[in-house]
Amino acid sequence: MIANTLFILAPVGSAIALVFAYIFYIKMKKKDAGNETMREIADWVKEGAKTYLKRQYKVVAIFFLFAFIFFIILSFVLGVQSKWTPFAFLTGGFFSGLAGFLGMMTATTASSRTTQGARTSLNQALQIAFRSGAVMGLVVVGLGLLDISMWFIILKYIVKMPDLTSITTIMLTFGMGASSMALFARVGGGIFTKAADVGADLVGKIEAGIPEDDPRNPGTIADNVGDNVGDVAGMGADLYESYCGSILATAALGASAFLGTGIQLNAVVLPMLIAGIGIVLSIFGIYLVKTNEDATQKTLLKALSRGVNVSALLILVVSAFFVNLLLKGNGIVNPWGIWGSMVVGLIAGILIGKSTEYFTSSEFKPTKGIAEQSLTGHATVIINGLAVGMESAGFPVIIISFGIIIAFGLAGGFTSLVTGLYGIGLAAVGMLSTLGITLATDAYGPIADNAGGNAEMSKLGPEVRKRTDALDSLGNTTAATGKGFAIGSAALTAMALLAAYLEEIKMGFLHIGTTTIKIAGQTTNVAETSFTDLINYYDVTLMNPKVLVGVFIGAMLAFVFVALTMKAVGKVAGKMVEEIRHQFENIKGILKGETKPDYQKAILISTKGAQHEMLFPSLLAIFVPILVGLILGVAGVMGMLVGGLTTGFSLAIMLNNAGGAWDNAKKYVEEGHHGGKGSDQHSALVVGDTVGDPCKDTSGPSLNILIKLISMVSVVVAGLTVAYSPAIQKFLGIF
């Protein structure tokens, strides 16, 4: 079959991504790392980041060990899921962690080289930072598609499992490993970076009146370390999970939608094929990013947008050919409709990015409005920033809502539910098909931020800092855009996973030996049940109180999770404040620049605090879906997933954009508007930026993973829910 031949493009695409990632890394390494001071600062940051990740991976390894034992029991003792699941879970976590680690090592190596590039020209600094960010993007898509291809080859071509539905549902479970690793990386890294950032800002900028990234501040190196472990390693693990989740969920839906037809394999391979082609076209787009010396932020944004937009247009053209080649003439679905669903996803991603850019860039009215509010004090800055964040949630919700409906309809969903859901899955794949370059625009941000810090600490000339500040300000916008993109893809992926959950429920019945069920008094073979049959069997309607309770629990989980992560940042930041004050008071000569601060002590405080505080919110996100499944059953889980998705999506957009707008409003004033640096207005915006830090870099981004993780956990333990929830509900009297 043609699908067997074309599938080779997936592993080939992953190999190309990893080869080009290595090429970009080697070229970056050959660049001048600057003078001795610049290299020393970069080494401090790199060692701090490595120390943090080593400790984090030790903690996460313990979790993975217990989770592996749990899945071994479910698979080999209770027999409620596939025996491949525990091993798929481990590979998902391993590759997710590896992607984050490699991206972080690249970013820390690139920072001083970007600073040195800025001593020559703005374009050279942009090229170094962006190509280094591209390493992160290409490593994520390369390792993600490698993991997917590896499991498909093992199960289909080596083990020779005949049932594509079983193969895709087994592969789907390695997404939980990736999701778990992503959550620990995002939450832990987010707590680390924002505790260091908030502590350094509160004491350094507000109390001591010294500039940002000043070498006299003991928290400066910890702040720069945090940019890498949170915004690079954390974001990499986050989007690795989204990327894999969208492909796996769509493949599972393809196996279900086209069961018994001649194109089932084609539908399963299609999302993998699109991902492989997207890698090649992303690399082409990366080479298009360049700018002029006198570029404004708008010009810099256009330079990045050029690469992203060209890659997106090319993937639309090429995918049209392959969609028609694989799905034409089947009499079940219109290939152009399926392609249209993918186009909708790609357009939705671009529109969400543009919306985020509008609400967070200092070129536009919302962020300028926050800066203007600084004329009347701290409180109005906070009020306006919150309002901008809430307002910014409106357009993305509308985009995703229309995107879901249009993708569903174009794929024939109003005639066949499961093909419509397949279309939504392909919309998520389309949105993430150019992740190689879109993630590069995100990972570029912390590299530029670290380059600015390096320039300040190395006491380089004002023209260097001006260039790094231009890149840093752009980085805040691209980071906010990347987060908007991440949450948009999370919403579509979670919708696809919601459907995949029902497919896993069907497999759960078969694992426990139940081959028939009664629906409306009629006996039905489980293997032949449709999604509609299962929805009717479990009474998944709003009139069922279990569904409604599940919706409330999902919505509550999003808010409680945000509260826990924000309180964690506040708690660790408090310890950082005490340490910085202690050093200012007790180490003579720090503020005069005569004595070096104890940077390692500050790094250790953030490291220990992040490791300790990340555990409870992360474990909560894992255990709640299991408990809801056992107590409220499938109906309760479906409600919880809907509540978590809708609330988490809106809340994440609000937090991400409010934080980004506060940050760029501060930078807008630092450029000389409304009194400039050191003014009362600047002080008010520093407070706004400090409040926004945990919003945009800890709680908001972590919600992306929460939305997908609760779906993944539910999918993986579906067999447990099917086997034991009826007995538990009967015991509790809610059956």
How high is the pLDDT of residue 649? Answer: 92
How high is the pLDDT of residue 660? Answer: 86
Region of 517 please: left (phi>0), alpha (psi -120 to 50) or beta.
Answer: beta
Reported for 4-7, long-range contacts at CB under 8 A and 24+ positions apart, including other chains, are 4/265, 6/269, 6/273, 6/322, 6/325, 6/326, 7/149, 7/152, 7/269, 7/272, 7/273
Q: Inform me whether the pLDDT recorded for 477 exceeds 70.
A: no
Number of domains in the chain: 1
What gap in Å lies between CA 268 and CA 110, rounded to an integer? 39
What gap in Å lies between CA 654 and CA 100, rounded to an integer? 26
Closest CA to 247 of 87, 140, 324, 158: 140
State phi, psi for 518 to the nearest 5 degrees: -100, 125
- For the stretch 142-199, pLDDT in tens is 999 999 999 999 999 898 888 888 888 888 887 888 888 888 888 888 888 888 877 8
Secondary structure letter of residue 460 according to DSSP = -
Strands 516-519 and 522-525: antiparallel
How high is the pLDDT of residue 35? Answer: 87
State phi, psi for 364 to the nearest 5 degrees: -120, 170
How would residue 274 be classed by pLDDT, with cut points 50, 70 and 90? very high
Cβ 422 vs Cβ 267: under 8 Å: yes
How high is the pLDDT of residue 269? Answer: 92
Q: Inform me whether the pLDDT recorded for 628 exceeds 80.
A: yes
Q: H helices within 328-376, ranges in order?
A: 335-360, 365-373
How would residue 574 be classed by pLDDT, with cut points 50, 70 and 90? confident
Residue range(s) defining the domain that contains residue 253: 2-515+524-732
User: Bigger pLDDT: 506 or 142?
Assistant: 142
Map 639-704 to HEC letters.
HHHHHHHHHHHHHHHHHHHHHHHHHHHHHHHHCCHHHCCCCHHHHHHHHHHHHHHHHHHHHHHHHH
N residues, the chain: 735
What gap in Å lies between CA 55 and CA 187, rounded to an integer? 14
Q: H helices within 201-261, ranges in order?
A: 220-228, 235-257
- For the stretch 282-300, pLDDT in tens is 999 888 877 665 656 567 6
How would residue 22 be classed by pLDDT, with cut points 50, 70 and 90? very high
In Å, the largest CA–CA distance within the chain is: 84
How high is the pLDDT of residue 16? Answer: 95
User: Residue 305, Cα to own-chain centre: how many angstroms?
Assistant: 20
Q: Name the most confidently modeled range: 179-193, 207-221, 313-327.
A: 313-327
State phi, psi for 397 to the nearest 5 degrees: -65, -45
How high is the pLDDT of residue 387? Answer: 95
Q: Chain-wide mean pLDDT for the chain?
A: 86
State phi, psi for 699 to the nearest 5 degrees: -70, -50
Mean pLDDT (whole number) for 556-582: 89
Closest CA to 356 of 722, 645, 658, 588: 658
Q: Quick one: tokens of 719? A: 């067999």
Closest CA to 219 of 650, 695, 725, 602: 602
- For the stretch 587-619, pLDDT in tens is 888 877 778 888 888 888 888 888 888 888 888
How high is the pLDDT of residue 465? Answer: 79
How high is the pLDDT of residue 171? Answer: 87
Per-residue CA distances from 352 to 231, 343, 392 (Å): 20, 14, 10
Mean pLDDT (whole number) for 103-110: 88
pTM to 2 decimal places? 0.87
How high is the pLDDT of residue 480? Answer: 61
Closest CA to 56 of 609, 520, 432: 609
Mean pLDDT (whole number) for 671-684: 84
The pLDDT > 70 percentage for the chain reads: 96
What gap in Å lies between CA 443 and CA 105, rounded to an integer? 12
Cβ 113 vs Cβ 33: under 8 Å: yes
Q: Inform me whether the pLDDT recorded for 395 exceeds 70.
A: yes
How high is the pLDDT of residue 563? Answer: 93
